[in-house]
Amino acid sequence: MAHVPASERRPQLVQAALDLMAREGVAAGSTRAIAAELGVAQATVHYTFGTKKDLYRAVVEQLTAEAIGQVRAASPGDGPFGEQVRTLVHALWDATTGEEGRCVLLSEFGVLAMRDPDVQEIMLGLQREIEGTAAEMLTALAATHGLALALPAREIAVHFLSGFDGLTVRHLSLRGTGDRPEADTLRALDLLVATTVGLCLGAPATRPEAGWHGEPARA
């Protein structure tokens, strides 16, 4: 069998681990099972990832990179500030819940982090990266509209992501396999967008169906 450089083998193993865990759960991701998923020797996994923490970190980083990349690639359009925020939030929702098993996998890692200090360290890094990215994107979007955020961008990002995480858990708990989010979840998502835009502008949130545009009131 031809030798495969570590620089090529590592991403292959990460993808194999991600596919296996998304399908069967984190607990199923043993080195033996991951090796079988890719069709390599178990020793190859041990050689590439010295510890289970290294493997978990690589999987979480891949999941994070995929979600962030999908949101960054989404065009917010040319509408008002609030509508552009809504477009990016729905892109994040699609990135997080769209591919079967990915959202469940992140939730599993989150539960593991409550008891495993190694996983907690990994998930803390994930949370900080996502919050930083959300703050950066909010700041950049506001700047294109000539708006000054009413609160620090990171505080707004923490508020938004806390609500977003709760809605993804609600979606996972209530849906059947492959089901679309229920109407209450989607309405709550738009209300979360409205309150987040309100925090950005220092203005009371308006219900989405009332036709808000997320722009500051004019005198």
173: amino acid identity, one letter: S
State residue 78's pLDDT score. 83
Please report, rounded to a whole number, the percentage of residues in the chain having pLDDT higher than 70.
88
Which helix (H) or strand (E) segment holds residue 161: the answer is: helix 153-174
Q: Domain residue spans in the chain?
A: 76-210
pLDDT of 90 above 60: yes
How far CA 87 is from CA of 68, 75, 98, 128, 190, in Å, comes to 14, 8, 15, 22, 10
Write the pLDDT tens digit of every residue in 149-160.
Answer: 999 999 999 999
Average pLDDT over residues 158-163: 96
State residue 13's pLDDT score. 94
- pTM beyond cutoff 0.95: no
Q: How far apart are CA 106 and CA 63, in angstroms?
A: 8
13 within 8 A of 2, measured Cβ to Cβ? no
- What's the gap between Cα 194 and its chain centre? 20
Write the pLDDT tens digit of every residue in 62-83.
Answer: 988 888 888 888 888 788 999 9
- For residue 129, give both structure tokens: 């990266």
Write the pLDDT tens digit of every residue in 22-65.
Answer: 999 999 989 999 999 999 999 999 999 988 899 999 999 998 88
* Structural fold of domain 76-210: Tetracycline Repressor; domain 2 (1.10.357)
Residue 164 vs residue 77, higher pLDDT? 164
State residue 152's pLDDT score. 96
Q: How far apart are CA 34 and CA 155, in angstroms?
A: 39
